[in-house]
Amino acid sequence: MSKKIANDSLIIGIDSGTSIVKAVAFNLSGQQIAIAEVRNKYHSNHQGHAEQSMLQTWSDCIDVLKNLSSKVDRLANRTVAVSVTAQGDGTWLVGKDDVPIGDAWIWLDARSAGTVTSLTQKKSERCRFENTGTGLNTCQQGVQMAHMHQWYPERLKHAEVTLHCKDWLYLKLTGVRATDPSEASFTFGNFRTRLYDDQVIDSLGLSQYKHLLPDIIDGTQLLHPLTNEAAKSSGLLAGTPVCLGYVDMAMTALGGGVYAGNSGVKPSNSTACSIIGSTGVHLWAKNTDSVYLNQQGTGYIIPLPIPDIVTQVQTNMASALNIDWILNLAADLLSENGQPIAHSELITRIDGWLAKSTAGGLLYQPYISEAGERGPFVNAHARASFIGLSSQHRFADMVRSVLEGLALATRDCYQAMGALPQELIISGGAARSNSLQNIIASTINAPVRMSTREEAGAAGAAMMAAVAIGAYSSMDECIKHWVTPFLAPAVLPTPSLNDTYEKLYPLYQDAHHALTPLWSNLSQCRNQTTIKTPLDGTDKNNKQGPLQQPTPPVKGIDK
């Protein structure tokens, strides 16, 4: 550490995810001291809407900070910095007096599928992709704003700034309207400069809304003090430095080990990091001049808070959500027979089920999200399916097939980045499964190491704050203490499983290519079933328009 700070000092990392909102206290050596969390809430429907209350999100953030105070002695006095990260993409509109314009559209919102199709057909699309390094999908703020411009213009008319989730929390903590270089560049900018790009904004048809884009600040270089109001609500001390972290994908990768700096622990261009959470995020740290921009125009380029280092990213819309779904089937059946069972207990049975099943016996397409898929291909209509079922298959075979589907999706994403990694670090709740580690290692034919860091996203954000306050002279120095000690021994591929998955992988690709027209037809069928008569404002071709025309926001009311 380069700056003398009290030995008992703490940094709080806030991570407001899709499922859980967390506040985590770390000491300056990177050890996790305590955590507080609450379940997140959002509402959705079968027409692709997925929205989240901005005021409730702020209230949840305050709750976890208060709960953390009850777990850590003298938390307020010992806290030398707070850093915030959160779920990425989505559109969090703020109007006069920092009042939300209704609920936020989160990344799961899929109603802009038709807008994605229109934008990707523009002649300027390749130029936009090469600047941002990011393919268009329904998750993104730029696409959602373009859709709002057509269908919900009143929302944009009343907005003064458009933020992301972490930006909203930063505004409430500090009173500063800002965003970070990661989300700014992959949405509206250039990953090489980390600034907004007029060509990108013009390509999205959003030139008239440039005034809504907030200033870009790098949290490793600029902090803002906690306001008196936020201090009173949270129990922390007014003036405590607050750091705006990068998007949660980048923070989790940083905290999990995607980049080891110049420590020599691992080669920088051969190791990748996969986050096996609700979604699957696959990241590869590279120099800006060594990224691979595929011809399909998919994926993300997300800067890290390290000069000239970015992550090349492909993201599965659903990862562990597939595991949750298959286990919930078992829980529902047992509950109907008067035998309720906890989700955690079913997780402990996975290894036993795998022992009763045969590798590669079924093929599972892991697109269980109602928002479809976004990596390495974009299709809002994609849905999950089992292929090859027979009367001989049992539940154990289906469980194995789901895990294999996640591993095949992981390989699919790395193939779209140009190659397979020579080593893979994984994090996230599902990453703790030894069976899943072995299946993934055998699918990509490379060693897999788990990051034992429990809260990698909050840790990554806290690392930014640690550098910003001078506790470490550089991110490389911070990584040596906060990341490297938390990497577990490698799980090696099993040769026989690798042989099986080498044969299964091309079939997996063939399957989703063959199913593409069927997904579209099924989507039309669902819409015709759930919507008996056309609704005002509905796009009759792709049915991605609004369910109703929005009303102007009322000050102080979160719709």
Q: What is the pLDDT of residues 48-63, one digit of tens each?
A: 899 999 999 999 999 9
pLDDT tens figures, 243-284:
999 999 899 889 988 887 554 444 345 778 998 888 888 998
pLDDT tens figures, 205-232:
999 999 999 999 999 999 999 999 999 9
257-260 long-range Cβ contacts below 8 angstroms, 24+ apart: 257/425, 257/427, 257/449, 257/451, 257/453, 257/483, 257/484, 257/486, 257/487, 258/283, 258/284, 258/285, 258/304, 258/311, 258/425, 259/285, 259/304, 259/306, 259/309, 259/479, 260/479, 260/483, 260/484
**Pair 82, 14: CB distance under 8 Å:** yes
Confidence (pLDDT) at 3 = 58
66 pLDDT above the threshold of 90: yes
CB atoms inside a 10 Å sphere around CB 441? 24
Least confident residue range of 71-80, 361-370, 374-383: 374-383
Please give the model's pTM, rounded to 2 decimal places.
0.81
Confidence (pLDDT) at 2 = 52
Q: How far apart are CA 150 and CA 154, in angstroms?
A: 10
Confidence (pLDDT) at 543 = 40
Confidence (pLDDT) at 4 = 65
Structure tokens at 281: 């995020």
552 pLDDT above the threshold of 50: no
Q: What is the mean pLDDT of residues 344-354?
A: 86
Confidence (pLDDT) at 261 = 56
Q: How far apart are CA 59 and CA 316, in angstroms?
A: 29
The pLDDT-based confidence of 537 (bands split at 50, 70, 90) is very low
Q: What is the mean pLDDT of residues 1-25?
A: 87
170 pLDDT above the threshold of 50: yes
What residue spans in the chain does CATH classification 3.30.420.40 cover?
1-88+218-257+456-485, 89-163+181-216
Q: For residue 65, which amino acid is it?
A: L
Of residues 452 and 21, more confidence is placed in 21
40 pLDDT above the threshold of 60: yes
Q: How far apart are CA 453 and CA 438, in angstroms?
A: 19
Three-state DSSP class for residue 245:
coil
Q: How far apart are CA 145 and CA 142, in angstroms?
A: 5
The most confident of 162-166, 285-289, 551-555, by mean pLDDT? 162-166
90 pLDDT above the threshold of 50: yes
Confidence (pLDDT) at 1 = 52
Confidence (pLDDT) at 179 = 98
Residue 247: which region, alpha, beta or left (left: phi > 0; alpha: psi -120 to 50)? beta
Confidence (pLDDT) at 439 = 94
Q: What is the mean pLDDT of residues 115-140?
A: 94
**Pair 337, 410: CB distance under 8 Å:** no
Domain 89-163+181-216 is found in CATH 3.30.420.40: yes
Confidence (pLDDT) at 181 = 97
CATH topology of domain 1-88+218-257+456-485: Nucleotidyltransferase; domain 5 (3.30.420)
Q: What is the mean pLDDT of residues 509-524?
A: 90
444 pLDDT above the threshold of 70: yes
431 pLDDT above the threshold of 80: no
Confidence (pLDDT) at 7 = 84
Confidence (pLDDT) at 551 = 31
Confidence (pLDDT) at 541 = 41
Confidence (pLDDT) at 238 = 98
